[in-house]
Structure 1
Amino acid sequence: MRILALGLAVAAAVAYGAASLLQAVGARRARSALVVWREPAYLAGLGLDAIAWLMSLVALRTLPIYLVQTVLAGSLAVTAVGARMVLGARLRRVDVGAIAVTVAALGLLAATSGTQSGDTFSRPAAFALAAASVVLALAGWAAAAAAARPRPAVAARPRPATAARPGPADGAARPRSAGADGEVTAGAGGAAATCAALAGAGFGGAAIAVRGLRFEGNWPAEPALWALVVFGVAGALLYAVALEHGDVARVTAVLWTVEVIVPSIAGFAWLGDTVRPGWAPAAAAGFALAIGAALVLARSPAQEPTAVPAPPR
């Protein structure tokens, strides 16, 4: 069963990576956000996201949370490789190294992972988790409102007359966060990072909630199920807000860092996740390497939506 669950986690990571590529292609082909839902590539990406999510749920019921979440973070490597092979996106040398480190780190984590407790957490704990999901949703609403609030433009500092460093895909230097007329918007990056952190906490909370699900009796009234729904929906909406108002590389890096670390800590401290006896240092090294590689890949030019050629207009 562990081998099957690990295979599902890896398949989910591949599906998430492929879904990101398909959604990027569909979004670039659409002439506006209102018609993106008509693009077959974008819809296929959403379908792959749903399939990947279901596979990750099955894996979380069997494997330690830290292992599943770290494997899912490997989807960044899938996206980077796919963008290079399919879209011709640029991969830096450090990206290639990060991909190799990701593969090695995930193999190390798979070898060092122990078992998880078969007992679900208590009913009061499930209600507490459901309450936490509502708190996170409210905090996310406040953060999204702050991110969307109009902010004063900040004049760019004068720079020496040297050639601008090309952007990742279109050859133009771009600010990390810009207003409608291209001026840097004060504070937008920080608000977007807050939304990204809350989105990561939402997805991480959903992973924790999976472990508390009980499919018996009146399961639609199960608090862990509602926590899963609220955490998941809040995470998805907050991630969209963060991408709208912030730099994609920074947002993705913050998202995955929080999404992996927070539920992993909960798994060890609360849910009985373990590491093979004597393998704790190796597991810690693999975990750190995987997170580091994910942070590098999150800032790769291959992750940028602009790596997809826009249609002629």
Structure 2
Amino acid sequence: MLMVSLCGALAAAVCFGLSSVMQAVGMRRAGPVSEQDPKSLVRAWLTVPFLAGTGLDLLGFGFELVALRHLPLFLVQAAIASALAVTAVAAAVVMKERLGRAEKCAVAAVCVGLALLGVSAGPEGANRAHTDFYTALAACLVGLAVLGAGAGRLPGRWRTVTLGLCAGLCFGVLALAARTLPQLDPARLMREPATYLVAAASLIALVLWTMALAGGSVTTATAAMVIGETVLPAAVGVVVLGDEARPGWVPVAVGGFLLAVGGALALARFGELSKSSSGDTPAAPSVSLPRTG
């Protein structure tokens, strides 16, 4: 099951990464799009590439759930962040985006980091959590929502960074809650607090992420989000849920995590795929890396 779960984490990263490119293609195909013109946005959302990208998002979330059931959070979250590497490579092929030497090195760093994590990760810790754990997650969500609402009044870069970080932390809460979900029996899921935390975290994260993108740098917002969704959830997985590396492999796991996340941060500009390399296609609003967890 460990290998199946690892394949699930990588498949989720591929789905999320390709989804970003598909949705960017859909936005371009729809022609000039304005955030102030709802009809133009709806027209873009209804294009076949955009709908296909949304389908990939849902498929990616399914793969992520498979991964979370048998892998430590530090591996799964690093794998999800590596979707930016998939986006970068796909953008270079499909949208003729240029990859510089540093960005090629960043893609390689992500691949090496994930390989190191894959060989060093031990089994995941507890799948069930105490009621206090869910209460703490709910309190964190409320706090992040309040902080996000206040951050909307901050000036310039601080607004973007804070909102992106809050969105990333909400996605981290989503992953922590999803990690403790029982077998996917609908009747049982309705009785689980983790189910409602996943739904609430998704909604709050998407609202904060949209706010972060409005009038801010997508690259800055993406970098802040990657930090928020990887570092703290990974630490909680180790300290609270009992995730661990194989005996004697802790330095390798730490090095792999830093390589994978650092590479993703170096590729943060690929959270934005709105400019045509040829310059003859009208720019669409920023299309950020879709997130579900």
CA distance in structure 2 between the aligned counterparts of 1:224 and 1:232, rounded to whole angstroms: 12
- Report what 1:19 is aligned to: 19
- Report what 1:199 is aligned to: 167
1:87-98 aligned within 5 A: 87-98=95-106
Choose from 35, 46, 62 the match for 1:54.
Answer: 62
- Report what 2:261 is aligned to: 291
Any stretches of 5+ residues in structure 2 without a counterpart? 33-39, 284-293
Please identify runs of 4+ aligned residues in structure 1 that moved more than 6 A. none
2:233 is the alignment partner of 1:263: yes
1:56-205 aligned within 5 A: 56-144=64-152, 146=153, 187-205=155-173
Asked whether the 8 Å contact 1:80–1:303 carries over to 2, the reply is no
Q: Give the Å deviation of 1:304.
A: 3.3
Could you say if the C-alpha distance between residues 290 and 119 of structure 1 is closer, same or farther in structure 2, counting changes exceeding 3 Å?
A: closer
Q: Give the Å deviation of 1:281.
A: 1.0
Amino acid at match of 1:17: G
Q: Aligned Cα RMSD in Å?
A: 2.0
Q: Give the Å deviation of 1:211.
A: 2.2
SS in 2 for 1:272: coil
- Report what 1:241 is aligned to: 211
Amino acid at match of 2:3: I
Amino acid at match of 1:3: M
1:300-311 aligned within 5 A: 303-307=272-276, 310=281
Larger radius of gyration: 1
SS in 1 for 2:97: coil
Asked whether the 8 Å contact 2:18–2:53 carries over to 1, the reply is yes
Choose from 272, 283, 296 the match for 2:242.
Answer: 272
CA distance in structure 2 between the aligned counterparts of 1:234 and 1:298, rounded to whole angstroms: 22
Choose from 281, 284, 297 the match for 2:251.
Answer: 281
Q: Give the Å deviation of 1:44.
A: 1.2
2:237 is the alignment partner of 1:229: no
Q: Give the Å deviation of 1:85.
A: 0.8
CA distance in structure 1 between the aligned counterparts of 2:50 and 2:127, rounded to whole angstroms: 39
Number of equivalenced pairs: 271
SS in 2 for 1:245: coil
- Report what 1:5 is aligned to: 5
Any stretches of 5+ residues in structure 1 without a counterpart? 148-186
Amino acid at match of 2:219: A
- Report what 1:28 is aligned to: 28
Could you say if the C-alpha distance between residues 219 and 304 of structure 1 is closer, same or farther in structure 2, counting changes exceeding 3 Å?
A: closer
Residues 130-161 of structure 1: CA distance to partner in whole angstroms, max 9, x if unpaired? 232233233333334x26xxxxxxxxxxxxxx
Asked whether the 8 Å contact 2:160–2:220 carries over to 1, the reply is no
Q: TM-score, normalised by structure 2?
A: 0.86
CA distance in structure 1 between the aligned counterparts of 2:188 and 2:267, rounded to whole angstroms: 43
Q: Give the Å deviation of 1:278.
A: 0.7
- Report what 2:287 is aligned to: none
Could you say if the C-alpha distance between residues 304 and 311 of structure 1 is closer, same or farther in structure 2, counting changes exceeding 3 Å?
A: closer
Asked whether the 8 Å contact 2:21–2:273 carries over to 1, the reply is no
Amino acid at match of 1:142: G
CA distance in structure 2 between the aligned counterparts of 1:273 and 1:57, rounded to whole angstroms: 16
Amino acid at match of 1:239: W
Q: Give the Å deviation of 1:218.
A: 5.1
Identity %: 38
Amino acid at match of 2:259: L
- Report what 1:182 is aligned to: none
Q: Give the Å deviation of 1:70.
A: 0.5
Asked whether the 8 Å contact 1:297–1:303 carries over to 2, the reply is no
CA distance in structure 1 between the aligned counterparts of 2:182 and 2:150, rounded to whole angstroms: 32
Amino acid at match of 1:50: L
